[in-house]
Structure 1
Amino acid sequence: MAVAFFAYSLGAQAQQKLDFDPAFLELGGGQGAADLSMFATGNRLLPGRYLVDVEVNGELADKREIAFISDEPDATAHDAVPCLTRDMLAEWGVNVAAFPELAQAPADECVEIARTIPDAKVAFDSYRQLLQVSVPQAAMKRRARGWVDPSKWDQGIPAALLDYQLNAAQYAGSNYSNSPSRTSLYAGLRGGVNFGPWRLAYESSFLRGLNGASQFELIDTYLTRDIVSWNSRLTVGDGTTPSSIFDGFQFRGVQLGTDESMLPDSLQGYAPTIHGVAQTNAQVTVRQNGYVIYNTFVPPGPFTIDDLYPTSSSGDMEVTITEADGRVTKFIQPYAAVPLLLRAGSWRYNVTAGQYRDGIANTHPTFGMATLAHGLPGEFSLYGGVIGTDMYQAALAGIGKNLGRFGAVSFDVTHARSETNLADTNVVTGNSFRFLYAKTFAGSGTDVRVLGYRYSTSGYRSFADAVQLRDGTESLALGAKRARVEGTINQRLGGFGSVYATIGTQSYWNGGGTSELFQVGYTGQAARVSYGVYGTYNKGNGVPTSWNVSLSLSVPLDVLFGRGNLPGGGNSQGVTYFASRDNENRLNQQATLSGTAGDNQQFNYSLSAAHSNESSASGTATASYLAPFGRYDLSVASGSGYTQAAVTAAGGVVVHGGGVTFSQPLGETVGLVEVPGVRGVRFETNPGVATDGAGYAVIPYLNPYRINRVTVRTRGLPEDVSLDNPVLEIVPTRGAVAAGTFESKVGHQAMLMLKGPDGKPVPMGAMVENDEGQELGVVGMDGAAFVSGLPALTGQVVVHWGAEREHACHITYSLPPVKSNGDAYPQIEGTCQP
């Protein structure tokens, strides 16, 4: 009974107004009464507008400014409550139409969600500025995982963009004594202009090889925009047809089709990943349909390319590895889409008309193509398509089925008629049968991304094969494609690492031979020591058969010597051992010391020494710097018969209404954020990115149609800068330059000693504000107030106090131009005038 009575008395007191005796705060002194009316009922939430995070059923749904209101005569007696409207609830996923009172409420009227929706609740955490909304699942709209409300999609601002990568390498030594040139050059440019939802873009490349020949290619030029209501994209100009039904190829014309990136995460496909192993500091070039679409330098050892642009996400890719000593290795990276499965009632479509184009054929026939897929009940999907031109016609029909815990499969048949204009035959017809399988075995950690088999009769040609055969650019020695097997399997081994395998084989009719690619790899980690074993076998028509096995071992230096014995503070340093043997019995071994430096780890370096059983020792040194305005790489390699020096510069330029901003490589979709007038502001998840002299910074590689959180790195902000909120949420459309501003207060800081006209200190708890009503500080004991954000060395501030802010005065201040006591804030005394 005593415990119950005590708890009841505490609850009763919580509802009562508390009286403080301000005399307790007068420490001997004549300060006068403190104004504590704001705190008489605890730390109450007063009416006003607050920027808050909104969490719906435990998931972050929004960040916005919400009005908090109070109907009580004394606003300090009770917490203000959030004013939630019908439209807000609809944006957060509440099924407003199911509740008549909500559906009929005026758009700007506050609604009581706890009264209109049974079991719904609203709570506000003032410490975290978090509004928590709890709504029964039955009252929410049905949405797929990863869905973002299209009303939040940002089409971006008008802007012009340029994304560039420049590679140059100089070769010397006896290995290149007969080379027409000792220098290789590569330039890749992606640019465009944005206006509203429209994107005018182009992509080009320039390559000058050691053979002395130069090649400039205008890969793509197109105008595109999204059509939100259809989850579709319209493209006029150059593009690539989807590869989920027919084999993908490039075109010049008009295309309208479903853009899967607009769909929730759970409804999207995947992009190809290229694995390989380099023996030296090598140059990797990726070609598709004869065009150079990717070029980079990689250090010795296994490498992974997983950042290909979406325009290159369909069709097989030719990967060329050019070693520093001149050796060249090529292989074909197979790629096919996962089985096309759709939810019941959903559709995918694509309509394309224009001219066939690639970097090989000299003829460009006009064609029309249409594909359609539909999800049926029972987890079946039907799909099909047609391609028509004067020299080629094809039709495809297929079915897909979700087998539950056994994975997903699809099967389709294509019939094609091709006019070849060959001497022995003018028209060939044939069929192609394709089977695809995909499955993730959650319990065993097995992920079968694509396992496919295709069998074609001798008269079957794909559209690209038919064009090249008619044009004479297809190798007649190979003949028509017969059977093809391809797939990628990843297996996680728990604490023992993971293993992957890639297979791709293609056989031909009429004795054309077989091309084969097999890759396997195993990686693991034990006590922060990483290790891996890799193997590759490549056999191609016209290309010598080759194989390679390699081993890598990586150890952080602090594991070997202890963290306290190493320079560099928190920067990481490690040593790597790499060994490989190939089909020509070359044994290469290399040891590399690498690390990072800088407060944002924007510097990277490596030093390596290598030895081969066919030559003397060699060495390589690399350095990389990630600056706010670009990325710069430098490497030098030297060995028996060769010396290579390579440099890479990559970055971006954005021209917008506020000026010109230089940046790191842009990617396809970017954010342009501003901290007005503040230079050098950095961001948490973007190493090296910082605002320029105008206060702008470009945040690269944003995910379109998804929530991207940009967070200011508050450590290191200038003393005279404070941010109202260090986090922005951006939801850009594809290719957009989405703008956002971090509201900041920039100004001087000072300690004001305030007295009233009667000579007594201003009451404790009074608010100091500027002319715009922004709070600059709070008066403490003896009239002392620390203020920030003073716009000038001289000016005026306003002081308010009282529960109803009925008392006010102003003070004119004048700050010294230079601090007199080192880092101490200037102290200004003044009389507050009514």
Structure 2
Amino acid sequence: MTVARLLAGLLALAVVAPVSHAQSPAPTVATATAPAGAYPSFVALRLNGEPAGDGVLVMRAGKEGASFALGTQDAKRLRLVLASRVPVVKLDDDEFLPLDGLAGLTYTFNETTQVLSIEAIAALFDSQEITVPQPALVKATRPGVGVFLTYDVISQKTDAPDVPTLTSGQVELGIFTPQGVFTQSAFGQVAGSQRLATRLDTTFTIDQPASLASWRIGDTVSRTATWSPFARFGGIQYGTNFATQPTLITYPLTSMAGQTALPSVVDVYVNNVLSSSINVPAGPFTLNDLPTMNGQGQMSLVVRDLLGREQVYMQALYGSTTLLKPGLSDWSVQAGALRDNYGIESSNYGTGFASGMWRRGLTDDLTIEVGGEVARELQAAGAGAAWVWGNLGQFYATAAISQYRPDPAPDRMAGHMYTLGWERRSTTFNFGANTRIASENFRRIADGDIPPARREVSAFGSYGIGQASVGASYVRIDRPREERLEFVQAQFSYSFREWGFLSMSAVKSRNGPQNDQFLVSYSLPFDFETTGSVSSSTTDAENGRRTENRATLQRNLPTGDGYGYRIDVSDQERALADLRYQTRFGLYSAELSRTGRYTSGRVGASGSLIYMDDELVAGRRVEEAFGLVQIPGFPNVRVYLDNQEVGRTNARGNLFVARLRPYQVNRLSIEQIDLPMSAEVMTLKLDATPYLKSGVVVRFPVKESLGGIARFVDESGHDMPAGSVATLLETNEQFPVADDGQAYLTGLSPSNRVRVTWGGRSCTITVPFKPGDDPQPLLGTFRCVLQR
């Protein structure tokens, strides 16, 4: 099959309309005449032990009315499928379905209580299709306008001769708006008298979560088909972006059927892990859109009815999260100029090009793709498919062709490339293989003047059970006019649970430059943050053998403020010690190392400056999204992200949170015991859903109560009667007067006018207020003089 035919075939599969089929004629329902002596009767009905209605009309016939028939409408209401099994009997203007002689159905009747009890197997009920609810799509909070500047700065000095002090840093400037985000990143270095500054990326990004799409204008990375590598370029790009809706399930889901005679709860287990619980009615049922697994696995349905009886349905499945759901497409188009010497030169733009890719899920088991790219001297196009074949695993194949005219050659050269791969994954076995073959003249835009490997072959396999796992892999790469590269690798690991983790790996070169390696390591966790490890490695290279033994002690940084460290000692005259300290303002580090006869010292700092909501704050380094937590007027309050402490509010009651997840619900909460008793708290938890590289303001509704207890008396000094009403005239808020003439007033200012009304009479009093530490201060006794 030629590439052109393959491409045409895949496109035809994508656009062909489904063939319509004539519907089968509805089955003919048999009818019969009511037997002599039949009569209607009203009874109470129970179905499989559950009440099914009072005053249900049935037909009784036979000796002493011992035979019963159920009304067709009631059978439909109860989802009993009887019309295809027994003839419909007409009595007067009503239709009934006899209950005698039905396989799987029995009934009894109590003349005293007038209760008809029916017992029916699940197969007699109408089958139900139930779609499992999927996670709701999130609605991100569109940001306001703000600016952030992130920085990473490192300075190193060594006592080696003629080695200057080296200082390097990377910065990123971002301006976020409701329309999009502008970012500019750069790298700089100072070594003695030498200065270096390089621009990295300048990009304006417009994310459209409602459309699952994004625009990128400026410097970015191309999105290509699987047969073509990505490339950095400057230009414009538009395409789908599923990351703007992380809760969207893009891969095919599965279905599973079962049945129950009573309304039941179905627990869905995927590889013995509870996924969801679903209520189902009596009868056969099919659960649609059940979660799947990536690789070989087992799905189980545990059906538990109202009586506590359980049924278990099991099904072996093979799923892939890399496929697309039927009807779902993923695409991208871009045009611009390739970047050359990225990170070395600021603005070296080379070949102009345009490219695009499109993937679509055709069935639950098949996803196809097409792609193409065009430049002045190069054109390439290709197609591919990925599919799951039963329980054999996932297969994928691509084919591409190109036309290339190298300067100064006058003629174009045609080339082709084919890829075929397979993998099968499970909880114990994982293995697969891949091969790629390309002709010498095949080119892609990202290749430039360097042709791709003419042949690449790789294979892997692993087996894990319990605490142990073992694996091996093989790689072979043949490049034009270069020596073949070929090596094998093996790994083994064993977990001693709380007593540590052992791992071993070996690499053996079979062809090409010799670089044989063997490594064995053992790590032991001392607590949640601290780990110790020892390792030994041997390397056989063309320049000789080298053996190194190392010991490391490491403490990871906490989520909130705190410190971490690393001590690394080697028998090859190398030693290192570093200390890192993290605050709400950033991360600071100091490192001392010795290699051979020379000692080096290094200090570093990273963090961000953020201006948003009319406030400039310093914080940790901005990652994907961030937020400003505000509890105005309440300093030193602990703030939590997903129940992990991230810091305390500053003197103004604000805390910058640098690491929120974009387009996902971030659950922020505050510690109530850090608030004074006088605080009025509406909620302790709020959700934040920011855009990428943007900030969101999370303002907790907490305020000082500014309240106190006032006692009101009449002109003669007696307490005002309970039930009187005190109204704060500045806000028109009303407060009841309780026993002893007392009322608790809130929302006070330094001077407050209060009107007290009772029994059609009223008076106005001025009540002063001075804030203090007492959450319920006594404001004093106030005499009420009637207004005449």
TM over 0.5: yes
Q: CA deviation at 1:509?
A: 2.8
What residue in structure 2 maps to residue 535 of structure 1? 505
The structure-2 alpha-carbon separation of the partners of 1:816 and 1:733, relative to structure 1 and needing over 3 Å to count, comes to: closer
The structure-2 alpha-carbon separation of the partners of 1:580 and 1:780, relative to structure 1 and needing over 3 Å to count, comes to: farther
Contact 1:506 1:516 (8 Å CA) reproduced = no
Q: CA deviation at 1:248?
A: 0.7
Q: Deviations over 1:629-652 (max 9, x none)?
A: 212222223454232322221112
What residue in structure 1 maps to residue 522 of structure 2? 552
What residue in structure 2 maps to residue 419 of structure 1? 405
Q: CA deviation at 1:395?
A: 0.4
Q: Deviations over 1:11-43 (max 9, x none)?
A: xxxxxxxxxxxxxxxxxxxxxxxxxxxxxxxxx
Question: Structure 2: which amino acid aligns with 1:754?
Answer: R
What residue in structure 2 maps to residue 320 of structure 1? none
SS in 1 for 2:446: helix
Question: Structure 2: which amino acid aligns with 1:510?
Answer: R
* Whole-Å separation in 2 of the counterparts to 1:256 and 1:806: 72
The structure-2 alpha-carbon separation of the partners of 1:484 and 1:810, relative to structure 1 and needing over 3 Å to count, comes to: farther
The structure-2 alpha-carbon separation of the partners of 1:381 and 1:790, relative to structure 1 and needing over 3 Å to count, comes to: same
* Whole-Å separation in 2 of the counterparts to 1:810 and 1:507: 96
Question: Structure 2: which amino acid aligns with 1:251?
Answer: F
Q: Unpaired runs of 5+ in structure 2?
A: 1-127, 252-319, 540-544
Contact 2:225 2:369 (8 Å CA) reproduced = no
What residue in structure 2 maps to residue 224 of structure 1? 205
* Whole-Å separation in 2 of the counterparts to 1:811 and 1:139: 70
* Whole-Å separation in 2 of the counterparts to 1:267 and 1:767: 57
Q: Does 1:430 align with 2:381?
A: no
Q: Deviations over 1:539-576 (max 9, x none)?
A: 7999872635141322427xxxxxxxxxxxxxx67461
Question: Structure 1: which amino acid aligns with 2:213?
Answer: S
Q: Does 1:166 align with 2:153?
A: yes
Q: CA deviation at 1:244?
A: 4.6
Contact 1:593 1:607 (8 Å CA) reproduced = yes
Q: CA deviation at 1:768?
A: 9.9
What residue in structure 2 maps to residue 481 of structure 1? 453
Q: Deviations over 1:748-793 (max 9, x none)?
A: 576x363443633774999998955789x99887677788x7666x
What residue in structure 2 maps to residue 511 of structure 1? 482
The structure-2 alpha-carbon separation of the partners of 1:498 and 1:771, relative to structure 1 and needing over 3 Å to count, comes to: farther
The structure-2 alpha-carbon separation of the partners of 1:678 and 1:514, relative to structure 1 and needing over 3 Å to count, comes to: same
Q: How does 1:43-62 map to 2 (within 5 A)?
A: none
The structure-2 alpha-carbon separation of the partners of 1:637 and 1:197, relative to structure 1 and needing over 3 Å to count, comes to: same
SS in 2 for 1:733: coil
The structure-2 alpha-carbon separation of the partners of 1:392 and 1:781, relative to structure 1 and needing over 3 Å to count, comes to: farther
SS in 2 for 1:261: helix
Contact 2:137 2:248 (8 Å CA) reproduced = no
The structure-2 alpha-carbon separation of the partners of 1:353 and 1:162, relative to structure 1 and needing over 3 Å to count, comes to: same
SS in 2 for 1:700: strand
What residue in structure 1 maps to residue 548 of structure 2? 587
Q: Does 1:754 align with 2:711?
A: yes
Q: CA deviation at 1:428?
A: 3.7
* Whole-Å separation in 2 of the counterparts to 1:736 and 1:720: 34
From 186, 192, 199, give the equivalent of 1:204. 186
Structure with bigger gyration radius: 2
Question: Structure 1: which amino acid aligns with 2:350?
Answer: H
Contact 1:519 1:535 (8 Å CA) reproduced = yes
* Whole-Å separation in 2 of the counterparts to 1:536 and 1:259: 39
What residue in structure 1 maps to residue 301 of structure 2? none
From 767, 777, 780, give the equivalent of 1:812. 767
Question: Structure 2: which amino acid aligns with 1:417?
Answer: Q
Q: CA deviation at 1:824?
A: 9.0
Q: Does 1:372 align with 2:358?
A: yes
From 684, 687, 690, give the equivalent of 1:729. 687
* Whole-Å separation in 1 of the counterparts to 2:723 and 2:511: 87
What residue in structure 1 maps to residue 325 of structure 2? 343
* Whole-Å separation in 1 of the counterparts to 2:697 and 2:373: 42
* Whole-Å separation in 2 of the counterparts to 1:591 and 1:229: 48
Q: How does 1:626-641 map to 2 (within 5 A)?
A: 626-638=582-594, 640-641=596-597
SS in 1 for 2:243: helix
Q: CA deviation at 1:461?
A: 2.4
Contact 1:691 1:697 (8 Å CA) reproduced = yes
From 387, 393, 417, give the equivalent of 2:379. 393
* Whole-Å separation in 2 of the counterparts to 1:586 and 1:525: 26
SS in 2 for 1:586: strand
Q: CA deviation at 1:199?
A: 1.5
Task: Pick the structure with more helix per residue.
Answer: 1
Q: How does 1:70-469 map to 2 (within 5 A)?
A: 145-149=134-138, 152-172=139-159, 176-177=160-161, 180-207=162-189, 215-245=196-226, 246-265=228-247, 267=249, 341-359=323-341, 364-377=350-363, 379-403=365-389, 405-421=391-407, 427-437=412-422, 440-441=425-426, 444=427, 452-465=434-447, 467=448, 469=449
What residue in structure 1 maps to residue 562 of structure 2? 603
Contact 1:493 1:499 (8 Å CA) reproduced = no
The structure-2 alpha-carbon separation of the partners of 1:521 and 1:676, relative to structure 1 and needing over 3 Å to count, comes to: farther
The structure-2 alpha-carbon separation of the partners of 1:239 and 1:223, relative to structure 1 and needing over 3 Å to count, comes to: same
Normalised by the length of structure 2, the TM-score is 0.63
Contact 2:632 2:653 (8 Å CA) reproduced = yes
Contact 1:252 1:357 (8 Å CA) reproduced = yes
Task: Pick the structure with more strand per residue.
Answer: 2
Contact 1:414 1:431 (8 Å CA) reproduced = yes
The structure-2 alpha-carbon separation of the partners of 1:144 and 1:670, relative to structure 1 and needing over 3 Å to count, comes to: farther
Contact 1:385 1:395 (8 Å CA) reproduced = yes
What residue in structure 1 maps to residue 781 of structure 2? 830
* Whole-Å separation in 1 of the counterparts to 2:246 and 2:718: 66
Contact 1:768 1:779 (8 Å CA) reproduced = no
* Whole-Å separation in 2 of the counterparts to 1:724 and 1:746: 12
* Whole-Å separation in 1 of the counterparts to 2:459 and 2:757: 73
RMSD over aligned CA atoms reads 4.4
Q: Which region of structure 1 is more displaced relative to structure 2, 400-409 or 625-634?
A: 400-409
The structure-2 alpha-carbon separation of the partners of 1:634 and 1:784, relative to structure 1 and needing over 3 Å to count, comes to: farther
Question: Structure 2: which amino acid aligns with 1:672?
Answer: L
Q: Which region of structure 1 is more displaced relative to structure 2, 600-609 or 347-356?
A: 600-609
* Whole-Å separation in 2 of the counterparts to 1:774 and 1:541: 87
* Whole-Å separation in 2 of the counterparts to 1:809 and 1:403: 85
* Whole-Å separation in 2 of the counterparts to 1:214 and 1:517: 44
Q: Deviations over 1:63-102 (max 9, x none)?
A: xxxxxxxxxxxxxxxxxxxxxxxxxxxxxxxxxxxxxxxx
Normalised by the length of structure 1, the TM-score is 0.60
The structure-2 alpha-carbon separation of the partners of 1:595 and 1:192, relative to structure 1 and needing over 3 Å to count, comes to: closer
The structure-2 alpha-carbon separation of the partners of 1:265 and 1:798, relative to structure 1 and needing over 3 Å to count, comes to: same
Taking only the aligned residue pairs, the percentage that are identical comes to 16
The structure-2 alpha-carbon separation of the partners of 1:816 and 1:253, relative to structure 1 and needing over 3 Å to count, comes to: closer
The structure-2 alpha-carbon separation of the partners of 1:743 and 1:729, relative to structure 1 and needing over 3 Å to count, comes to: same
The structure-2 alpha-carbon separation of the partners of 1:433 and 1:816, relative to structure 1 and needing over 3 Å to count, comes to: closer
* Whole-Å separation in 2 of the counterparts to 1:728 and 1:388: 49
Q: CA deviation at 1:367?
A: 0.8
Q: CA deviation at 1:166?
A: 1.6
Q: Does 1:744 align with 2:702?
A: yes
Contact 1:515 1:541 (8 Å CA) reproduced = yes
The structure-2 alpha-carbon separation of the partners of 1:588 and 1:214, relative to structure 1 and needing over 3 Å to count, comes to: farther
* Whole-Å separation in 2 of the counterparts to 1:748 and 1:521: 66
Q: CA deviation at 1:363?
A: 6.4
What residue in structure 1 maps to residue 666 of structure 2? 708
What residue in structure 1 maps to residue 262 of structure 2? none
